[in-house]
Amino acid sequence: MSKFIKINEITISSDHYIGGQRVAAEHYLEVFSPIDGQVLGQVANGSPSIINQAIEAAERAFPAWAALSAAERKVYLDKFADEIGKRADEFALTESTDAGVLFSRMQHGVVGRAQLNIRHFAEHALRLQNHSIDTKQAEHLVRHDPAGVVVIITPWNAPLMLSTWKLGPALASGNTCILKAPEWAPCTSSLLADAAQAAGIPPGVFNVVQGTGLESGAGLVADPRIARVSFTGSVPTAKLIAQSAAQNLVPCSLELGGKSPFIVLATADIDNAAATAALMYRNAGQVCLAGTRLLVHESIKDEFVEAMRAYVEALNVGDPRDPATEVGPIIHQRQVERVAGFIERAKAAGAVVLWGAEKHPFGELYFKPTLLTNVKQDDEIVQNEVFGPVLTLQTFSHDDELIAMANGTDYGLGGVCYGEQQHATEIAKRVRTGFIWVNSFGIRDLEAPFGGIKRSGIGREGGNWSFEFFCDIKDVVVPKKPFRASFSQR
């Protein structure tokens, strides 16, 4: 018998979505809301037989979907985006309740971005097959052919945005997809299946498997029938995925964590920089690209701290469904314990608390925005990702010292640099990272590359970079003169 989760008047299937149908499971997992810790219901856990069903369904659907032109696939994908839009309020409330993200941000930003992810890459795919390289000897017709069955694994902090960010180019390329829903926040993945079905996406082209990473995720990644694995999440999980996929030489795209520098030069607009720094507490700090290491010129440190304090004290911590809320809950009790553990160890190592560093009275999974100073470069709190509302503050006196600090971790995802525009841009060029914002934060374009270096990941997403991963690139060589084979030819 099929199971369902009810969030207000929204009915969400708890079952897998395979081959265009809901598929029940032998075992189900409880799902909690981080808002109040209440059980939302149960979702299916993927067994080996479920994994096999999903892969078989995707394999059956692949030849017909791959045979369509990019324009024909675009018709389906535009309808898919339309269906997401029709369910905008459902997606917003569901993800807010399930993952604890801000309802207002879902409603006014994320759902629209999810639609754009699908539409943009469907449009981009139209341009891919027209590329040729004209040389003296031949015309090289460069093709982006679909790779096959793709596994997409997304984290719990932004399920809808990150799922569609990967599904857009994967489906537009002609691949068939299996989305592994995040264990702690699976509900919007299930709603995506409803939207795909309503859009008429052919059975087996898009499938959703739920469950734990150790069972569902590991089973999918290890299967030799998988052509690509796209993962966003933690470094330890990425290592397991890469090791497993390597057994079958399956390419992986890995967008991982960050410990990004937030640089404030002596010439910075201090108030603007402080206001932006307070944004790092958004989503309770559970954002991989947040600038969590504040590196502030020593001459403006006190002024910057007081300006930032005013913005932080004005932040509303509370129920993420309330439009006035700016900082919601941490996803799970285990994550709260992780955050608290980092802070206690940092304090024991000599860190000084400027604000926060304790649970917020609003609820069990709420934590006060925190800033720690008097930290050393090799301290755990500086070197490792906390993934909570915790920032550190260090000062510098000259550019070379700053660059050494900014580049002095094993991560390299993002960064922020505030200061006089030319100077800030020159500093940004020297920071070893996948991307960095100058006098800004969060500006994204789907044509631009996104990804990290070092422990922050492998590969890039966005524009042609997404298609280069999800496609098999083929060179069709057409000679300009009659060709005759010769043993002397090189």
Q: What is the CATH number of the domain that holds 288?
A: 3.40.309.10
Residues 354 and 418 in one domain: yes
430 CB contacts (<8 Å, ≥6 apart)?
A: 403, 406
Answer whether residue 490 is part of any domain: no
Categorize the per-residue pLDDT at 488 as very low, low, confident or very high, splitting at 50, 70 and 90.
low
- Which amino acid is residue 406, in one-letter code? A
Residues 244 and 269 in one domain: no
Residues 296 and 163 in one domain: no
Domain of 181, CATH number, reads 3.40.605.10
| pLDDT, tens digit (0-9, with 9 covering 90-100), for 246-281 | 999 999 999 999 999 999 999 999 999 999 999 999
Residues 327 and 185 in one domain: no
**What's the Cα-to-Cα distance from 3 to each of 27, 42, 208, 297, rounded to whole Å?**
11, 8, 15, 56
Residues 28 and 79 in one domain: yes
| pLDDT, tens digit (0-9, with 9 covering 90-100), for 406-448 | 999 999 999 999 999 999 999 999 999 999 999 999 999 999 9
Answer whether residue 101 is part of any domain: yes
- Which amino acid is residue 399, in one-letter code? D
| pLDDT, tens digit (0-9, with 9 covering 90-100), for 132-152 | 999 999 999 999 999 999 999
User: In which element (H, E) is residue 117 found?
Assistant: helix 111-125
The β-bridge partners of 18 are: 21
164 CB contacts (<8 Å, ≥6 apart)?
A: 84, 113, 114, 115, 117, 118, 192
Please, are residues 279 and 289 in contact by the beta-carbon 8 Å criterion? no
Answer whether residue 153 is part of any domain: yes
Categorize the per-residue pLDDT at 449 as very low, low, confident or very high, splitting at 50, 70 and 90.
very high
Q: What is the DSSP string of 163-190?
A: HHHHHHHHHHTT-EEEEE--TTS-HHHH
The size of the chain, in residues, is 490
Q: Which of 83, 90, 183, 255 is catalytic?
A: 255
Which residue has 């397991």 as its token pair?
Answer: 240
pLDDT score at 1:
52
- What is residue 378's three-state secondary structure? coil
Give the whole-angstrom CA distance, residue 293 versus residue 393: 6
Residues 75 and 51 in one domain: yes
Q: Which of 288, 385, 417, 471 is catalytic?
A: 288
Residues 297 and 200 in one domain: no
Strand 10-13 and strand 4-7: the pairing is antiparallel
- Measure the CA angle with vertex 467, ends 438 and 437; round to 5°: 5
Considering its fold, how many domains does the chain have in total? 2
Short-list 74, 21, 68, CA closest to 207: 21
Q: What is the DSSP string of 245-285?
A: HHTTT--EEEE----EEEEE-TTS-HHHHHHHHHGGGGGGG
Residues 215 and 353 in one domain: no
Q: How far apart are the first and last CA of the chain?
A: 66
Answer whether residue 444 is part of any domain: no
- What is the average per-residue pLDDT within 22-45? 94
> Count of CB atoms within 10 A of residue 212's CB?
13
Answer whether residue 450 is part of any domain: no
Answer whether residue 484 is part of any domain: no
Q: Is the pLDDT of residue 490 over 60?
A: no
Short-list 298, 295, 257, CA closest to 273: 295
Residues 460 and 410 in one domain: no
Q: Is the pLDDT of residue 291 over 60?
A: yes
- Which amino acid is residue 261, in one-letter code? P
The β-bridge partners of 153 are: 180, 231
Tell me the pLDDT of the chain averaged across its residues. 96
Answer whether residue 303 is part of any domain: yes
Question: What are the start-end ranges of the H helices in 126-223?
Answer: 159-172, 187-198, 218-222
- What is residue 327's three-state secondary structure? strand
Active site residue 252: no
pLDDT score at 90:
97
> Count of CB atoms within 10 A of residue 28's CB?
17
Answer whether residue 183 is part of any domain: yes
- What is the average per-residue pLDDT within 36-56? 95
Q: What is the pTM of this model?
A: 0.95
**What's the Cα-to-Cα distance from 197 to each of 7, 20, 57, 90, 117, rounded to whole Å?**
21, 7, 15, 16, 18
Active site residue 288: yes
Residues 73 and 212 in one domain: yes
Residues 270 and 237 in one domain: no
**Enclosing domain of residue 321:** 260-438
- What is residue 382's three-state secondary structure? helix
Residues 104 and 127 in one domain: yes
